[in-house]
Structure 1
Amino acid sequence: MVAVTLMWATAGVVTRHLEHARSFEITFWRSFFTLLALLVILPLWQGRAVFSKIRDGGRALWISGLCWCVMFTAFMVALTLTSVANVLVTMALGPLFTALAARIFIGHRLPARTWIAIVVAGFGIGWMYGTQLGDGLLAGTLVALCVPLAGACNWTVVQHAHAKGQDIDLVPSVLVGAAISSLLTLPLAWPFQANSHDLGLLAFLGVFQLAIPCVLSVICARILKAPEVALLALLEIVFGIALAWIGAGEEPASSVVTGGALVIGALVFNELLGLRDRRASAAPLPGTH
């Protein structure tokens, strides 16, 4: 899972080294190369059954695919509009948005610790947004906000489907998302401006920054507990900011450091307490075997 977060974190620094590709063209090529990689990886991993899963997945799988499409597209567009740190810190709100979505649409009760984390993280993001009103970075941060919102929607749809007895495999829905993203951004990406250098970097993003780590993260999620996955996923923020700083000279603004510290601190607090509560509830009572 640590390796997965490191691969995810390469998006920012690699994007900063593109020469001619811009905005929607970047999104198109990354999604397209992700699609090609998954068309090879998934049949090798799951056999031809992966295509029948897509065909028989129903409405929930296609909604999940649309959510992946939004995440793929908004993430790359946001990177072209604002700093890597802004995008990654904003994306870190995913678990809290997911908790709120589960409370509103599925009726999951939220413990007090999660409400506290939501409030603290909200202050952190509010601080970031407030300091960006005059520097032209707010648009990119708002686009980045689409990523955790789509992620929360995706999780809610999957959980709702599971509650109705429908088993949705998230990996095929990633393939669907990559395909939809490629189709939607193709007209916006034309005419292409990327040279061979750019295509090589974008192919790297499609294969090693997205396709492979997405598959590995699904495998990790079957072994690790949800809070452990959520905590380890936060390493993407640390790795991503560090790589962009070292590899592209993009130093994070002080407002991002302050706001990001509040967001990450709130998430760590929430997930650690959640993990402790789960372990306590799973422990045998005294005198039992």
Structure 2
Amino acid sequence: MDPVKKSLWSLHLTVILLGATALFSKLIPLSATDITFGRSLVAFVVLAALVKLTGNSLKLQSAKCYAIALLLGVLMAAHWVTYFAAMQYASVSVGMIALFTFPVIAVLLEPLFERNRLHWQDVVSALVVLGGIALIVPETDLANETTLGIGIGILSAVLYAFRNLIHRKHFSHYSGAHAMAYQTLIIFLCLIGFASDQVYQASLHTYGLLLVLGVFLTALPHALIATSLKHLRVKTFSLVACMQPFYGVILAIVILGETPTWQTFVGGILVISAAIYETINAQKRQ
């Protein structure tokens, strides 16, 4: 098979696997914190082993890199916990749509990191996202679990946008597996004091699900990303990555039996369209 086509198939598989992580917020009978704690431990062991098996050193280049890795890990810990919490309060479909406000949020935050200014198109994208979110919010009262889930999902998107901007500016010279090995270790260390007794008393079935989540839906996708980028442009990767909520929603319908409302579908189309537009626009500016 042509290397480019093979990489493209690999990339779609990666995005499907990342989209499937959302299902485990419902499949694993643990809190968002406990799920993240177990996921990070499994993923760290696999990613660290992968880095060593490929003949690379786990060491970072400087003290500054270790400080950045710490910051990225803390942001990822908060992002992963809020990611799972959003879907536990709302639904996988609604939670994923709320999360994928992050490309537009990143554009709005970018002037804090780069010497560039907002364009009117970015403001329009933000308004489109706002309209999409408004469609899926059932009521403005946070006592409504779906509304609360959307709010937590947007907070998760803000955390992820900050993480991505810092990573791109200060940590992008490390491979995905190397960078995530450190971040998953820090996530694990951050959550040791917050994990409940339930995670230590879980059934073998629950541990099996955590193993699948950590190995096949966390460590494996980040290894595949590095492989895909050898033959694909970053723009192609970014655009295909915008398919993640689509794959996640389809999997939620098929596996969990979710039935998204028409407002969720229309709101999702608006949010994902804005994400795709900003992804294309970002590549043009670079």
Give me the TM-score of the superposition, normalised by structure 2. Answer: 0.83
- C-alpha distance in 1 between matches for 2:167 and 2:282: 21
**Deviations for 1:23-77, whole angstroms, at most 9, x for unmatched residues?**
3222211111111211211212352x22344866242232222222222222223
Cα distance in 2 between the residues matched to 1:269 and 1:149: 18
Q: Distance in 1 between matches of 2:153 and 2:236?
A: 24
Q: Work out whether 1:31 is the aligned partner of 2:40.
A: yes
1:189 maps onto 2:159 in alignment: no
Alignment partners' CA distance in 1, 2:92 and 2:212: 18
Superposition map of 1:260-275 within 5 A = 260-272=268-280
Work out the CA distance in 2 between the residues paired with 1:94 and 1:218.
Answer: 22
**Post-superposition, which runs of at least 4 consecutive aligned residues in structure 1 deviate over 4 A?**
53-56, 166-170, 272-275
- Aligned pair count reads 273
Task: Measure the CA separation in 2 of the matches of 1:92 and 1:13.
Answer: 16
Measured at CA, do residues 64 and 256 of structure 1 come closer, stay the same or move farther in structure 2, by a change above 3 Å? same
Query: Match for residue 5 of structure 2?
Result: none
| Structure 1, unpaired ranges of 5+ | 282-289
CA contact (8 A) 1:31 1:72 kept: no
User: Which of 11, 19, 23 does residue 9 from structure 1 map onto?
Assistant: 19
Q: One-letter code of the match for 2:159?
A: A
Deviation at 1:161, TM superposition (A): 3.2
Amino acid across the alignment from 1:249:
G
Q: Is the 8 A contact 1:72 1:178 kept in 2?
A: no
Question: 140-149 or 241-250, which moves further after superposition?
Answer: 140-149
Q: What TM-score, normalized to structure 1? A: 0.82
Structure 2: give runs of 5+ residues left out of the alignment: 1-10
1:142 is the counterpart of 2:148: no
- Percent sequence identity over aligned pairs: 19
1:42 matched to 2:47: no
Residue type of the partner of 2:93? A
Residues 56/268 of structure 1: CA separation in 2 closer, same or farther (3 Å cut): closer
Distance in 1, matches of 2:115 and 2:31, equals 42
Match of 2:123 among 115, 119, 133: 115
- Structure 1 residues 207 and 184: alpha-carbon distance in aligned structure 2, compared to 1, 3 A threshold: same
Q: How far 1:120 moved relative to its partner?
A: 0.8
AA paired with 1:182?
Answer: F
1:64 to 72, 75, 86: 72
